[in-house]
Structure 1
Amino acid sequence: MSRRYDCSEPMERTRGIAESVSAVRRGELIVLPTDTVYGVGADAFTPPAVNALLEAKGRGREMPPPVLVGSVRAATALIEDLGTYGQDLIDEFWPGALTLVCRANQNLLWDLGETKGTVAVRMPMHELAVELLKETGPLAVSSANATGKPAARTIDEAEEMLGDAVSVYLDAGPSGHAEASTIVDLTGSIPRLLRAGAIPEDKIRSVVGVLLTDEDEDEDLPTEEPEKPSLTKDEEPEKPSLTKDEPAEEPGFSLRKDDNA
């Protein structure tokens, strides 16, 4: 049976955090507040717990969850390389609503799903969440909703969708933003915006300078075919296909607007 704690009450908050830490260590799910939306979390290093998180949301391994951390140091231990712009983005926007996709540390013993060697990581700007994360260590966290449903902004919305699949619910009132975090991919030589979110695109550009988007790929295509001379049917050459160049392989996590805390 699920337990719910009102974190506006000091004693309830203390008990709630302690119960959440215990639940995570047992491989169970918790719901925690963040600065964007409520998230459902599990120990990132316990594969059965991560699988339980995916099952609770009704999604498969092809949509692995991001990881929330309680410090920059914890984040850097999870990744292979921040690249040219990673540290600048962290200095400017962490803690906050920016998720960074990096190459994962190959020495880590975990299984978040089909990540294709990457990890999406974020440090939230929420006092209770950070306090909890410092106790639990990195958590696999996705928005506390069934896949395809709006992200939960209140604990009631989260509990209605996830029910007894979650052991502990931490109620900290309505979440800070309606929008989920902005996601930027740092696995290439140039940062790429994978999802627009709480941090505007222009603020990201002010730090990295060049930021690739889906529209940049579209601009590479010819807007119209050049005029060609009139030919008879027998003379007309075979027309080449003007399909869009195949994009590079994307990191293996969900990019839904209503998903990922």
Structure 2
Amino acid sequence: AGSIAFLVVNVFLILIAAYINLVVLALTFIMEVIIICFLLFTLEQLPLPLEIAMLAIFSVICLYGTFASLINSTFGKTLFPMGPTLFKVTLEKESITTSPPCLTPFSHQTSGLRTLAKFLDAGGVCGIPTDTVYALAASCKHPEAIEKIYNIKDRPLEKPICICISNLEQLTTVHPPFSPLLWEFMRNVYPGGISCIVKKGEWLKKLGIGPAYEKVGTKDSIMIRVPDHTVTVHLTDMTGPLAITSANPSGEPDSTHQDMVISRLGHKLSGVLCDGESNESVPSTVVNCTKIEEGTISIIREGCVPATKVMQILERVKSQLE
């Protein structure tokens, strides 16, 4: 009974071996013949030469298969052939090439920057890298694009959007009525991961914010970012001031890689400038400087720059001006 059961099981082993190689197939086939010999032996009908022949062949195949496998695996190539498979399994892999929902040029390519600049100049909303986390950007030349940002990320209208400029010299050329303390403070924190909230004024229109004056900041103040990021600076030089906010659905974690922006918001954007992993995992530190003339500032949001460091910068600047 045991031999008959093994005989049936070995049939399945032969089928499996047919998908491996000829050596294993021959081994399982000879095993089947040997089992039949065992059955004939129980019936006293086994020719002795057949049993000897089968056991000899089985031994030779075992020795060859073991030796060939050992040598081939040791040297990493087929020195002793094991034979082809009798049957081949063809696994059809469906190469599903899902194209991104928006254009995704790379930041290290000049053509990538130009592509994003064209999108922004045409009134599109794009995902861009910064020195902290990824941001959504719209040109201040297109107020309607800034409105799109609110819809794209479901941002509450009461939350203002800041502007991004490439360097502090852009501010000095439009002569905003800032106090010497504020100027010196900004020189110490820009460029970098600190955003300063200052009072609004007509100087913003000279900066290039004219069309978007009512769409950025609040009625009385505006937050300014000068990122310490070469790609963002070059892009802003090409487009002019940008309205930016974090590239994430409102209330969800910030995007620290282009893939997060593409997967969550890509279907709503004109493009995403791919720059890999963000330098930081948290956004910029927001500082209210509207009362800095009185010698005080307040931390609205503590981000990548600790609040203690911001206060140390202020105290150092104040001591320098005294």
Into which bin does the TM-score normalised by the smaller protein fall?
0.7 to 0.9
CA drift at 1:37? 0.1
Structure 1 match to 2:284: 181
Higher relative contact order (CA 8 A, sep 6+): 1
The 1:154/1:26 distance shift into structure 2, 3 A limit, reads: same
Are 2:154 and 2:249, in contact at CA under 8 Å, matched by a contact in 1? yes
The 1:77/1:116 distance shift into structure 2, 3 A limit, reads: farther
Are 1:36 and 1:177, in contact at CA under 8 Å, matched by a contact in 2? yes
**What 5-or-longer segments of structure 1 have no aligned partner?**
211-261
Structure 2 match to 1:153: 256
RMSD: 2.0
More strand by share: 1
Q: Distance in 2 between matches of 1:105 and 1:43?
A: 19
Letter aligned with residue 314 of structure 2: V
More helix by share: 2
1:53 aligns with 2:149: yes
CA drift at 1:129? 0.6
Matches within 5 A, 1:76-225: 76=172, 80-106=176-202, 108=205, 109=210, 110=212, 111-113=214-216, 115-188=218-291, 189=294, 190-209=296-315
**What 5-or-longer segments of structure 2 have no aligned partner?**
1-100, 317-322
CA drift at 1:7? 2.7
Letter aligned with residue 208 of structure 1: L
Query: Could you tell me the percent identity over the aligned residues?
Result: 25
Q: Distance in 1 between matches of 2:175 and 2:265?
A: 30
The 1:44/1:102 distance shift into structure 2, 3 A limit, reads: same
TM-score with structure 2 setting the length: 0.60
Q: Distance in 2 between matches of 1:132 and 1:114?
A: 21
Structure 2 match to 1:35: 131
Letter aligned with residue 92 of structure 1: N
Are 1:43 and 1:49, in contact at CA under 8 Å, matched by a contact in 2? yes
Deviations 1:132-189 (A, max 9, x none): 0111111001111100110000001011121222111111110100121111111123
Q: Distance in 1 between matches of 2:193 and 2:267?
A: 28
1:3 aligns with 2:103: yes
The 1:185/1:151 distance shift into structure 2, 3 A limit, reads: same
Q: Distance in 1 between matches of 2:300 and 2:175?
A: 18
- The residue matched to 1:6 in structure 2 has which SS? coil
CA drift at 1:85? 2.9
CA drift at 1:80? 4.0
Larger radius of gyration: 2
Q: How many pairs align?
A: 206
TM-score with structure 1 setting the length: 0.73
